[in-house]
Structure 1
Amino acid sequence: MSAARVWSRLGLPRPELRAWALYDWADSAYVTTIISVLFPIYFGRVAAEGLSPEVATARFALGSSVALGVVAVLSPVLGALSDRAGILKKLLGFFLGLGVVSSAALALVGHGQWVLGLVLFGVGNVGMAGSLVFYDTLLRHIARDDELDRASTAGYALGYLGGGLLLSVHLLWVAKPGWFGLPSTDAAFRLAFVSVALWWLGFSLPLFRRIPEPRPSALTGVPPVVSFRAALAQLRETFGELRKYRQALLLILAYLLYSDGIGTIIRMSTLYATGMGMGPGALVAAILFSQAVGVPATLLFGKVATRVGPKRALMVTLGVYACVSFLAYFMRTAAHFFVLATVVGLVQGGSQALSRSLFTRLVPRHKATQFFGFFSVFEKFSALFGPVVVAAMVGLTGSSRAAILSMLFFFVAGAAVLSRVDVEAGIRAARDAEARAAAHS
């Protein structure tokens, strides 16, 4: 089978779609190695040396919340500015650079230097999350309506594959540092952080080469203005307009809830399992297998969404997450963690990819960046709540189990709001707005 046919079957028939999806391959290395697996382990073993597991977990959670709060404040303003000034790719590149530099700098964190570790981890989170605001928006500019679900899920599948491949190399480094001429396990961790930076940067280059900068304010008739004051004025206007798109707003509210649970599980599960006494080898092996399972599962959700619709497919993933958060309360062994990590791998990519493609359908193309800025605000502020709940529950109960169980609320409530979204009505409203804007441009 030719390469072109393979790409087409994945839902990426055109070069710009492939370049766009490759960014998921690039930045997922940061998510798997630094957010999900190795840095939490390194933080607990090295940076937070001398702290109890409970205190380390609480500080790690609060550090994550602060970083996400910064992105939540910046996202809508930068989104409005990028639309008016035509600098979407430049802003993506800025946040990419922030993430790459801070990732490499994690190699400088030594024993007991938990403050430095959290600062660099926070800056890297700002870089990654900030870049995704503009990356997600690009999909609306390069994909047709019938390509959205397949392209979005293909991107997440590539992310699983790329992040998993690099993490497997890191696993070998950490498990057998002597094989690679590394003096210690700590040196293997540090080399892994630097390799993430190089991987992220290198595989991001096709996006900047293949995808043209979207034209500023293409349908609005508003002249490009590089001004934060003008961007803030447009931001106020956009917030007022967003209320007119009821279905998009309902999806944002649903996403606020269920993405909180998803993000918290991703960020805190490794520390939770480490606190139970699980070794790095078992943890990384479980995450690796979860990544491998996620590749075909995410692609399958893209196909399922084309048959039953993205909303129904998304509801399935939330039901699975609710079961995981309930069963995690009873987790006792490495085998339990392995099973639950595998189940999460089945739905994680699908839930995130379908949320992105569904929201893209419900907003006008000429307002995509600004609305994705608001989408990011709700996503990041929602991500503040989960780690804070974890820290609070640990403080109140002295146990991480109650904190994991509390995530059940976010999935049930998110599904309840999502059930009220009328997808067809939302699509009609977005397309009508595009037609009106085109008529007046």
Structure 2
Amino acid sequence: MSNPIKLSQKEKSWILYDCGNSAYSMAITTALFPVYFGMFRGGSGMDIGYFNSIASILVALISPILGTIADYKDVKKRFFAFFALLGIIFTGAIAVVPNGQWQLLIGVYIVTAVGFSGANIFYDAFLVDVSIDANMDSVSTKGFAFGYIASVVPFTISLVVVFLIGLDQMLGYQLGFVITALWWGLFTIPMLRHVRQVHYVEREPQPIKNSFIRLGRTFMNIRRHKTVFMFLIAYFLYIDGVDTIIKMAVPYATDSLGLDPTDVFMLLGILLVIQLIAFPCALIYGVLAKRYSTKKMIVVAIITYIITTIFAFTMTQLWHVFVLGGLIGSAQGGIQALSRSYFAKIIPKNNSNEFFGFYNIFGKFAAIIGPTLMALVATITGVTRYSILAIIPLFILGLILFLFLPEYQSEN
């Protein structure tokens, strides 16, 4: 077996940003905010699925346009910094929204999601600037792995604060949002200092107009990138289920099991277990991808998610969430990291932002379907448990399409 790669400073700095923004994923997307929103508004937290979809639509619409413009020399870093700062500031701002103004709360939350997702367009695209093809699986999985383990720190602190102040008191959650923003900001600094754009398109007159022309040309000539196009369709389908589970796990478990505030706190603690399991599993996926191929390991992850979804439907007791968490944690980092690195290998490097803009738009439009379907099924049937069944076909269809892709094919 080959020796582990030695990370460069720019690779380490790139990975550290994952350590920062994973705190947002944990606290805002998955855990604290869904509970806080239910307390803030009153009633079911499943309604957040609709607002997740609104945020996803906004990001999906601007992703390819921003990505195309950012392919110009010395532009990518500026876009990344703007969206990261936007997300960080508004994450902290969640804490100061006046009680009862849930519409304003949702507005602030949507801005945080746009900032988080917008920054990730350029962060993901920087993978081609910080690493070579041979190392991308390893670097990408390390980003997710260390992001998982690092996010445990601010989340644990936040949980302690919530417990000490009171499970039914909003102040503890509000302090958790501030802690999350500070952590995210701290780990953004190395990325800003040490990572530079290597692959780019030279600047030209009328850059915005020409960006739209390049975007249209790429879309029209997508047939020249058959592997890229087929992957994006498969990714669109299976990542829908992944993102839906990440965003809806807490409200689904809370509603379907009928948890009280104490049980909800235990549920949030179980999410820590997911992070601890996800850390080594993401690294293992990177090692196994090098031995067996990236494609084979993505297939394993999709199958794991199908099993996870079926198990979620059968849950009846709180301890079942531990099992669910273990299943999610075993595949979550692997499927996200290897999808990112697989895509980075098959795209033209000089147009990485443009192509990652498409990657993001497919991913974000996918994230619209799942949460909306779950929220609709829960509303129509009045039974939260049925809602999880809506995402199983997406995993299956995504798997079928992905099986037709090559093990690896460079289209540079």
Task: Assess same fold via TM > 0.5.
Answer: yes
Counterpart in the other structure of 2:351: 367
Counterpart in the other structure of 2:211: 231
Q: Aligned pair 1:288/2:277, yes or no?
A: no
Q: 1:357, 1:391 → 2: CA distance?
A: 32
Q: 2:372, 2:196 → 1: CA distance?
A: 40
Q: Deviations over 1:274-302 (max 9, x none)?
A: 22333232111110000001110100000
**Structure 1 residues 149, 309: closer, same or farther in 2, change over 3 A?**
same
Letter in 1 for 2:34: P
- TM-score by structure 1 length? 0.89
Counterpart in the other structure of 1:28: 22
The answer to whether the Cα contact below 8 Å between 1:41 and 1:274 also exists between their aligned partners in 2 is no
- Pairing 1:362-441 to 2, within 5 Å after superposition: 362-424=346-408, 426-427=409-410, 430-431=411-412
C-alpha displacement at 1:185, in angstroms?
3.3
Counterpart in the other structure of 1:19: 13
C-alpha displacement at 1:394, in angstroms?
1.5
Counterpart in the other structure of 1:273: 253
How many residues align structurally? 406
Counterpart in the other structure of 2:222: 242
Which structure 1 residue ranges, 5 or more long, are not aligned? Answer: 1-7, 432-441
Q: 2:91, 2:264 → 1: CA distance?
A: 20
Q: 2:86, 2:340 → 1: CA distance?
A: 24
Q: 1:226, 1:153 → 2: CA distance?
A: 38
C-alpha displacement at 1:412, in angstroms?
0.8
Q: Deviations over 1:233-281 (max 9, x none)?
A: 1111121233211111111101100110010111011011222333232
* Structure 1 counterpart SS, 2:31: helix
Counterpart in the other structure of 2:286: 302
Of 32, 37, 50, which residue of structure 2 is paired with 1:43?
37
The answer to whether the Cα contact below 8 Å between 1:91 and 1:134 also exists between their aligned partners in 2 is yes
The answer to whether the Cα contact below 8 Å between 1:75 and 1:374 also exists between their aligned partners in 2 is yes
Q: Note the aligned Cα RMSD (angstroms).
A: 1.7
Q: Deviations over 1:307-341 (max 9, x none)?
A: 00011001001111001111111111110112101
Counterpart in the other structure of 1:119: 107
Q: Deviations over 1:181-202 (max 9, x none)?
A: xx98321111110111111111
Counterpart in the other structure of 1:190: 174
Q: Deviations over 1:41-78 (max 9, x none)?
A: 11112x212xx32xx413x1111111111111111111
The answer to whether the Cα contact below 8 Å between 2:199 and 2:350 also exists between their aligned partners in 1 is no
C-alpha displacement at 1:227, in angstroms?
3.0
Counterpart in the other structure of 1:164: 152
Letter in 1 for 2:176: A
The answer to whether the Cα contact below 8 Å between 2:129 and 2:199 also exists between their aligned partners in 1 is no
Q: 1:195, 1:148 → 2: CA distance?
A: 31
Q: Aligned pair 1:87/2:75, yes or no?
A: yes
The answer to whether the Cα contact below 8 Å between 2:129 and 2:196 also exists between their aligned partners in 1 is no
Q: 2:200, 2:140 → 1: CA distance?
A: 23
**Structure 1 residues 358, 281: closer, same or farther in 2, change over 3 A?**
same
The answer to whether the Cα contact below 8 Å between 1:17 and 1:142 also exists between their aligned partners in 2 is yes
The answer to whether the Cα contact below 8 Å between 2:378 and 2:386 also exists between their aligned partners in 1 is yes
Which structure 2 residue ranges, 5 or more long, are not aligned? Answer: none
**Structure 1 residues 412, 167: closer, same or farther in 2, change over 3 A?**
same
Q: Deviations over 1:107-166 (max 9, x none)?
A: 023443321221111111101111011001101112111100000000000110111221
Runs of 4+ aligned residues of structure 1 deviating over 4 Å after TM superposition are none
